[in-house]
Amino acid sequence: MTADHEIHDTDDLIPLTPDRNIALELVRATEAAAIRSVPFIGRGQKELADGAAVDAMRAFLTTVEFDGRIVIGEGEKDNAPMLFNGEHVGTGRGRSYDIAVDPIDGTTLTAEGRNNALSVIAMSDRGTMLDASSVFYMDKLVTGPAGVGVVDIRLPVQENIRLLAQALGKPIDEMVVSVLNRPRHQQLIADIRSTGAGTRLMSDGDVAGGINAARHDARTDMCVGVGGSPEGIVTACAIKALGGHIQGRMWPRDDDERQRGIDAGLPMDDVLEAEDLVKGNNTIFVATGVTDGALVAGVKRQDGYLYTESVVLRGHSGTLRRISSDHLESKWL
């Protein structure tokens, strides 16, 4: 793969692609949020866990040399503490970016001590990220590169499984589809299994589910179903780097929410492609594990150190990097 490079504007010499140093600063913010969540893992206090993660992430983001605007903030669904929509982060100097944050994707997972909780930040150029915050849920379809131009969210899930299996050269009985384990998905789960494919039911954390379905070495082939609309935007930033396929449709829970979406200018009846969710390939996605999962390991405490694992995906270069860090625990007390 070609080495990363930065393109510069000849007028002001400001990078047109997110600087690698900014990506590393974002990692520091997700690491901090993950570490501050550790005392609350398995303690049944998801609001306290989220609050600690939010405070830690905000503190680090204020030091980053950029003008960041929160477009997708977490917390509106469950009245949790949040980095609020419209909040500006960073020093205010340098290029302007849209930011999506989820200090803990999987607060319930964290509170119950279960796998696949992440701390997440996604970034793209200012004005490129869809603000879907007025409608909390989105129906999504995510696959790896083999699904591009092959599957379509408008088709029955059984047909999409058959088409993707053919594109992958796999028997249908070896296909695995991730879906959130929710009452609203009972028929969807039955339809998936009716094809002979297997399901991987997720209790929470559909960002990780989507990314794992799009990775070239994934154990799952597709991620489908209704999850958070903020998570859909965040996932799209990652899919840009993985060359995968993502589609979404807004899923209002009632007429009032549908009207709020219309009033906000959201295309309520359209199928949203990756380019509708986040325009261009100038994206960064960063995630640090809070608890262990298929994407990254969770925070470990041992012999006076805190160990974290993070991933950085850059849409411009199409790279996924893993960053393992050792932190002196005494610095975090």
Letter string b/e over residues 139-160, b meaning 16 or more CB atoms within 10 A of that residue's CB: bbbbbbebbeeebebeeebeeb
56: number of Cβ within 10 Å: 22
The C-alpha atoms of residue 301 and residue 171 are separated, in whole angstroms, by: 42
50 annotated binding-site participant: yes
102 annotated binding-site participant: yes
The C-alpha atoms of residue 260 and residue 265 are separated, in whole angstroms, by: 9
CA distances to 133, 166, 197, 209, 269 from 101, in Å = 12, 36, 33, 17, 26
65 annotated binding-site participant: no
183 annotated binding-site participant: yes
107 annotated binding-site participant: yes
309 annotated binding-site participant: no
125 annotated binding-site participant: no
Indicate the helix (H) or strand (E) that contains 306: strand 305-314
**Nearest by Cα to 239 from 227, 226, 223, 219:** 223
The C-alpha atoms of residue 17 and residue 314 are separated, in whole angstroms, by: 9
Beta bridge partners of 208: none
303 annotated binding-site participant: no
76 annotated binding-site participant: no
206 annotated binding-site participant: yes
Annotated binding site for substrate: 105-107, 137, 182-184, 204-206, 228
Binding residues: 50, 74, 102, 105-107, 137, 182-184, 204-206, 228, 231
Binding positions for Mn(2+): 50, 74, 102, 105, 231
